[in-house]
Structure formats: C-alpha cells, structure tokens
A and B are shown apart, each in its own frame.
Chain A
C-alpha cells in the first residue's frame, strides 16, 4: 500500500516538470518565456519546501506514519526544482556568462540568499539515502533541520525579488511561518 502511495506521489511531483518541458518545446510560455520558466520552477521549489515542512505536522494531526515515508522524496524534489530554477537562470537566461551572474550573486541580495538556500540544499540531498541516515545517526536529524533555514531564505528571496509583498510572497511567507511555528509548539508539549 505504502509503496503505491509513494509511487503516486512521485508521479504527481514530476507533473510540473513535464508541464514546463512541454510548454518550453511547444512555445506555450507567453511573451517572456525565460522569466516564465524561472518563476514556474522557483514557485514549485517553494511549494515543495512547504509540502516537505507539512509532513511532520500532518503526521501529528492524523497519526499516520506514511507522511514521514514520503518526506524525504519531497525534500529531494525541492532540490530537483531548485536546481532546475538555478539552471534556468545560469544556463538559459545568462547563457553561462559568469560575469553578470557573479555580479548578481554578490550585489543582489535576493540572488545571494537564493543561492545560499541552494547551497544549503546540497548537503541535504547528498545525505538523503538510507545509508547516510545510518551513518550519521543522530546527526542526520540535526543536519536536516537546515530545511528550516532554507525555507526562511526561500521566502525572503521571494519577498526581496518582488516589487511588492502583495500577495503571493506574503502568502507563502505566512504558510512557512505557520509551518515552523507548529514545530515549536510541538516540541514544548511533548
């Protein structure tokens, strides 16, 4: 049962990717196609961050363990979409012209913090295997708390890149704050 559930989640998670590839090759991205891909992959990165963070509260509310079983996979999709997002920016938008990219990373705080978030995802993705969990033991949990920092960086990235906080950056930030607050209470009461 759990196995089919996991496969189902995998297929669902891959749909945004299929969609953006389809749109790219069939010219359905609208007047500003590169920005469309950047925004699409960026938003899905953030959505997967929220989903990943929602799993342990869901487990608590429903008392079902399978939420935890898909958490790692959702986390890997965060890395997948974040990397696509980064690649869109570096490869498609700036065509690997490193000078303007480096300028942006250093000078634009939203790029800086987005890049920092992506860097922080690397150790998490690298230690996501069953084997690494065994090797790292208690430290694995500690290490993977980095996702909280990544979530905060991600929402700051969104706020800083938007001309106004209304409405999507605000909505995502509130969701992330809520998901993080749920944890604080959880710890104190148990």
Chain B
C-alpha cells in the first residue's frame, strides 16, 4: 500500500501552496469554496486523499439523536431548528459566558479545513469542513487553575430529536477532551462543510471535529462547553466503558472489542475496492503524537 503523506491533505499546505485562505462566514463564500474543491479533486491522489461526495457526507451519518440507522439523521433532521442558538462556556473559568451563533460567526473566521474522518465502525471519509480552531473560542474565557478537561454537551430536545425519546444513550450526548487536546490547533469548531452552512444531520449549527480521534468524540449540536477538573464520563464510556475509552485515538494496534481497527473502508468506493490500512492517529501523528508521549495507549484507549 502506498504510504500517504497527510501533509497532502492538511489545509495548511494546500492553502499555502495553492491559494490564500478563504475568508468565509458560511454561505457567503460557497461558490468560491466549491470551485477550489474541484481543483483539489483533480490535483489529489486517489482513495484516501479524495474528497468524499457531498451526498455521502450528508446522507450517511451516525447521529443517534435522530435515529440509529445511517439514513435516519438526514431524514429526521430536516425540520430541526437551529435558530436561535446559544453556547454557554462555563465551569472552571473566571467568568462564564454565553455566545449566540451570530456573535460566534462575527468573532471567528471560518476557513476550509479538509480532514479525514475515521469512524470507530471501520469506515472513513475525507471532509472539507468549514471552521476554526477551538482554542480561539476557548480563549474568550480564562480557565482557573483547576481546569484540566473540557466537556462538551449537545442539545437535549426530545420533541425535535426522536432518538432521544429512547434510552439509547444517556442523553444529552456528552463528550470530553483533555485541556491540551482541546487547545490543539487541529481541534476544530465546525460551522460548515463544502463551503456551505453545516447541514443539520452533520451537527448544525455548531459541532467540534477532532481529526485524530474516532468520529464519536466529535460532539454535534453543542450547547455547552464546560471546563472541569476531573475526567468527564462521555456518553459512550457510560454506555460501555470496556469498549469506549476517554481518549479514543485512532489506533490500528488497539482493537475495539467488536471490530478490528487495523483496516478501514473508504466511503464512496465500489463493492470490489479493498480495505486500506488504518493510520496511527488517523495520519495526524506528526501533529499530535507529542500529546501522548510516555502514555500506554493500550491502557488509555
């Protein structure tokens, strides 16, 4: 198998080499962004470096709030209301704040960020997100010395989210990162994809995306970000601590009890396409491996 240089698809290189950053606040720059994508498409290598189609990204989702099958989120989220929307940043901070979506889009410039997504189920996509580093958002507050972790809480609204009427997970969806992971420049606040506003089924109006971790770590439709002292118990850890660890870094050497994580299938390829080898940290090792030096990643899975 050909070795994939992730620098080929990290946005830094693409933008530095090929064009300047798209300054975009969602819809405004959609035409610009899309033209850039076809350029990228033709210039990039096959398989893992090729963007997944808009259709697959927006109709094949795991988003249990809207149902457990992959097609449910697209079908059941179309009438989901994302305005008005407010995000609270609180917990171990000097002064808690609340920001509306409008304020957030005024404060932060969303740029195109093309990242691989590796699902714990053994499939992967390449997604041109629109977003900015979470660290920028978090810098709006001053954490106290007690703050060691950041917790993300998704919206709880069973009237709009059918899946929440059943105890599939302990709603609302909860995820967390260590502070240094949350502050890492690759950890992204996502507001859009393919140069468009973020579709509801992908976590609108605002989600996070952590490219070196399995997809479920990237909480959708976030309403609360909380600095905490102790390691939070995420919804999936709560559901099955043996299967889902707090870190959940993409790691081909540590199997999920039910699935081998050594290989993955690339979404959008035909029936006869082979599996490809999964990369350590989903291929972002150069950027993030230093966060985990000295840690036994089999133990802290």
Interface residues of chain A, those whose CB is within 8 Å of chain B, are 24, 27, 29-35, 37, 92-95, 100, 103-104, 107-110, 160-161, 163-164, 166-167
- If A100-B260, A100-B263 touch, does A33 touch B270 (CB 8 Å cutoff)? yes
- If A31-B60, A32-B123, A166-B168 touch, does A104 touch B271 (CB 8 Å cutoff)? no
Asked if A34 and B68 sit within 8 Å, CB to CB, the answer is no
Asked if A108 and B257 sit within 8 Å, CB to CB, the answer is yes
Asked if B60 and A34 sit within 8 Å, CB to CB, the answer is no
Assuming A160-B258, A161-B258, what are 14 further A-B pairs, CB within 8 angstroms? A27-B270, A27-B271, A31-B56, A31-B59, A32-B265, A33-B271, A92-B272, A94-B275, A100-B262, A103-B260, A108-B260, A163-B121, A164-B169, A167-B166
Closest to B167 in A: A166
What distance in Å separates the Cβ of A141 from its nearest Cβ neighbour in chain B? Answer: 36
What distance in Å separates the Cβ of B255 from its nearest Cβ neighbour in chain A? Answer: 7
Asked if B260 and A34 sit within 8 Å, CB to CB, the answer is no
What distance in Å separates the Cβ of B169 from its nearest Cβ neighbour in chain A? Answer: 8
Asked if A104 and B260 sit within 8 Å, CB to CB, the answer is yes
Asked if B271 and A37 sit within 8 Å, CB to CB, the answer is yes
How does the 8 Å CB contact mask read for B154-171 relative to A, with 1 for contact and 0 for none? 000000000000101100
Whole-angstrom distance between the alpha carbons of A54 and B257 in the complex? Answer: 34
Residues of B within 8 A of A109 (CB): 257
Q: Which of B59, B121, B265 contacts A34 (CB 8 A)?
A: B265
Asked if B258 and A108 sit within 8 Å, CB to CB, the answer is yes
Whole-angstrom distance between the alpha carbons of A91 and B68 in the complex? Answer: 28
Whole-angstrom distance between the alpha carbons of A107 and B261 in the complex? Answer: 13
What distance in Å separates the Cβ of B36 from its nearest Cβ neighbour in chain A? Answer: 24
- If A93-B275, A104-B260, A110-B258 touch, does A31 touch B267 (CB 8 Å cutoff)? yes
What are the 9 closest A-B residue pairs judged by CB atoms, nearest first? A33-B271, A31-B56, A31-B60, A31-B267, A166-B168, A164-B168, A32-B123, A24-B271, A108-B258
Closest to A93 in B: B275
What distance in Å separates the Cβ of A110 from its nearest Cβ neighbour in chain B? Answer: 6
A–B complex contacts, Cβ < 8 Å, 30 sampled: A24-B271, A27-B270, A29-B271, A31-B56, A31-B59, A31-B267, A31-B268, A32-B265, A32-B267, A33-B271, A34-B271, A35-B123, A35-B265, A92-B272, A93-B275, A94-B275, A95-B274, A100-B260, A100-B262, A100-B263, A104-B260, A108-B257, A108-B259, A109-B257, A161-B258, A163-B68, A164-B64, A164-B68, A166-B166, A167-B166
Q: Which of B121, B239, B255, B272 contacts A164 (CB 8 A)?
A: B239
Whole-angstrom distance between the alpha carbons of A14 and B275 in the complex? Answer: 30
What distance in Å separates the Cβ of A47 from its nearest Cβ neighbour in chain B? Answer: 17
Q: Which of B55-75 contact A (CB under 8 A)?
A: 56, 59-60, 64, 68, 70
Residues of B within 8 A of A93 (CB): 275
Whole-angstrom distance between the alpha carbons of A170 and B86 in the complex? Answer: 37
What distance in Å separates the Cβ of A97 from its nearest Cβ neighbour in chain B? Answer: 9
- If A32-B123, A108-B259 touch, does A92 touch B271 (CB 8 Å cutoff)? yes
Whole-angstrom distance between the alpha carbons of A160 and B259 in the complex? Answer: 11
Residues of A within 8 A of B272 (CB): 92
What distance in Å separates the Cβ of A24 from its nearest Cβ neighbour in chain B? Answer: 6
Closest to A100 in B: B260
What distance in Å separates the Cβ of B248 from its nearest Cβ neighbour in chain A? Answer: 14
Residues of B within 8 A of A32 (CB): 60, 70, 123, 265, 267
